[in-house]
Copies of this chain bind each other. A is one copy, B any other.
């Protein structure tokens, strides 16, 4: 897990600490392979240690998110979903409202939008964490199927 070494280094750089809870959340995210809710990640962590509190899960996911290790997507169903992105380029996320699939779009592909907003509104938008809703190729034709 090269990821963990980098995590420890980043923590130390910010004067933060490595705790068993933080290790377990990182490990749960490795297991997950894809977007999961905080509750699902909580369940994975509980299999490792029963005494961890859900608020610690949220705090740790938040930390990992701010450090750029984790992407957070609001799929529009009132529950955020999280996934490891480790050190990839930031993505804009597309959520299909037909099938629930989440697709990442490298941020450089929407650079023209950034330029347009800068030019016309003087607005410097931060697209690191944007989620767009719509219909994917599959669901566009057929009638939308349940998630």
Contacts and interface: CB of A to CB of B under 8 A. Distances in A.
A26 interface: no
Contacts of A117: 94, 105, 132, 134
Interface residues on A, range: 20 to 34
A121 to B, nearest CB: 6
A77 interface: no
Contacts of A126: 97, 132-134
Q: Is chain A's interface secondary structure helix, strand, loop, or mixed overall? A: mixed
Interface in A119-147: 120-127, 129-130, 132-137, 140
A113 interface: yes
10 contacts: A96-B123, A112-B112, A112-B116, A121-B136, A121-B137, A123-B136, A124-B134, A124-B135, A124-B140, A126-B132
